[in-house]
Amino acid sequence: MNRRVPDAHPPDTPGRLPRRLSLQRDTAGTGGLRLSVSGRLDRDAFTDFLAEWQDLLPDIEAGRPERIAVDLAPISTADSAGALLLMQMETDLKQRAIAVDFLHASGDIEAMFTLLSEQAARAHAGPVRTDGGNPLVRVGDAGVRAYQEFVVLMTFFGEMIATLADAVRHPRSVRWGDVLVSVQRAGLEGLPIVGLISFLLGLIIAFMSSLQLKPLGAGVYVAALVGISVVKELGPIMTAIVVAGRSGSAFAAEIGTMKVNEEVDALVIMGFDPMKFIALPKILAAVIVLPLLTLYADLFAILGGLVVGVLGLDLTAQTYIHQTLQGIRVTDISTSLLKAVVFAVLIAGISCQRGFLVTGAAEAVGRQTTSAVVSSLFLVIIADSAFAIALHYIR
């Protein structure tokens, strides 16, 4: 049986609904017009009402009345949108030099009308924001800002290096408890994701290269290929990306929130150096964790390659490991660890700096956290390129 279900919200067509506006000659009055407004005057009826009003407007204008009386008595409910409609009617009529009298408004509508029009009148009292409209001015401003940000950043890194040097000289002054907490969060808790990503990365590289090398009978070189690419490049980079995403963002958000809660100010007043108290443990933790995570990532990537080697290339595990070790040199490992340390300083440093830049409210925390991750990735890739060039010429 095909039963027709009525629409929950039938389309509002002016033809189907009773008219909300009706126009009559004012018989009792001065020969003006009388407009009666009925029904709901609220946000649901807004669009239809406005359309109806605009249809009616030419009719009213044609009569060239001096005044018009609008009877509000039949209105059942009204809200701000309704009040806005009445204001619109008033404005439209005033533009056509027709005076308006609103009659029989209930107390509620009257009060709302007064409140809202007062607000509209006050809307321009606030301070005016002056943005440099001239594109040339804006470019100049952006340049000056970029320069100032650079100076702030360099000052921060200078301070950071001084604090690190001080920590090396006076290791007892470091808050090692906080360092341990950060090591746990940035390192230990990051093991599963770093392991998974590296394992799959090794697996994918081995699989893709085996497709190319196997037909040539060179499948055995997959081991060295995976080993070299992972240890020299991909291990440190992938780990740095994961740490920037996991911990860099956490550092920035934590410090930013402390800034918003005035905790940083409180520390300064209590005679603590925020750099030493908050940033240093995080930076040290990153410096400890990132090289270890990099080694761990290398290991898992090689393991991923090993799985492909054994299952897809019919190599024994022993051969695969032997081939891998043949491919990697000790200097490869040590430079990758050096890279990891540099990445750690850059990620933790810029993330803490972004955190300290937070001023104002929660929205700024979000903005600086994003900036922390983006800047971390940018600095890491720049540093990696610098390493690639430097290492090429050193050898």
Partner 1 sequence: MNPDIPAIAVENLTARYGERTILEGVTCAVRPGEVFLIIGGSGCGKSTLLKYMIGLYTPAAGRVCVHGVDLSTLDEEALLGMRKGMGVLFQSGALIGSMTLFENVALPLSEHTRLPDETIARIVRMKLALVDLAGYEDLYPAELSGGMKKRAGLARAMALDPSILFFDEPSSGLDPVSSAELEATITRINEGTGTTLVIVSHDLDLIFHIAHRVVLLDSEARGIIAEGDPHRLRETSRDRRVIRFLNRTIEG
User: Quick check: 270 binds partner 1 (CB under 8 A)?
Assistant: yes
What is the closest distance, in whole angstroms, from the C-beta atom of residue 271 to partner 1 in the complex?
5
Residues 196-225 interacting with partner 1 (rule: CB under 8 A): none
Decide whether 242 or 280 has the Cβ nearer to partner 1: 280
Which residues touch 373 (CB under 8 Å, ≥6 apart)?
244, 245, 248, 249, 252, 351
Rank residues 20 and 185 by Cβ distance to partner 1 and give the closer one: 185
Count of residues engaged in binding partner 1, rule: CB under 8 A: 15
Nearer to partner 1, 281 or 309 (CB): 281
CA-wise closest residue to 353 among 376, 382, 320: 376
- The verdict on 280 binding partner 1 (CB under 8 A) reads no
Minimum CB separation from partner 1 for residue 270, in Å? Answer: 5
Contacts (CB under 8 A) with partner 1, residues 106-165: none
Q: Which of 142, 162, 193, 268 binds partner 1 (CB under 8 A)?
A: 268
Please, what is the minimum distance in Å from the beta carbon of residue 263 to partner 1?
A: 5
Are 312 and 223 spatial neighbours (Cβ–Cβ below 8 Å)?
no
C-alpha triplet 87, 91, 94: angle, nearest 5°: 135
Interacting positions 27-86 with partner 1 (CB under 8 A): none
Nearer to partner 1, 148 or 326 (CB): 148
Q: Based on the shown chain and the rule CB under 8 A, indicate whether residue 11 belongs to the binding site for partner 1.
A: no
Min dist. Cβ of residue 282 to partner 1 (A): 12
DSSP β-bridge partners for residue 25: 33
**Footprint (CB under 8 A) of partner 1, residues 234-263:** 257-258, 261-263
Q: Is 317 in the site for partner 1 (CB under 8 A)?
A: no
Q: Is 269 in the site for partner 1 (CB under 8 A)?
A: yes
| Residue 286 Cβ vs partner 1, minimum distance, rounded to whole Å | 17
**Which one, 90 or 263, has the nearer CB to partner 1?**
263
Answer for the pair 238, 198: CB distance below 8 angstroms, yes or no.
yes
Q: How far is the CB of 303 from partner 1 (least distance, A)?
A: 36
Interface with partner 1, residue 265, by CB under 8 A: yes
Q: What is the distance between the terminal CA atoms of the chain, rounded to a whole angstrom?
A: 85
Tokens 């009525």 belong to 6
* Helix ranges, the chain (H): 46-62, 80-95, 107-122, 135-169, 176-186, 191-213, 222-229, 235-243, 249-260, 263-269, 274, 280-312, 317-327, 330-357, 362-394
b/e map 242-274, b = 16+ CB within 10 Å = bbbbbbbbbbbbbbbbbbbeeebeebeeeeeeb
Q: Which of 252, 244, 394 is nearest to 331 (CA)?
A: 394
Which residues of the chain form contacts with partner 1 (CB under 8 A)? 178, 181, 257-258, 261-263, 265-272
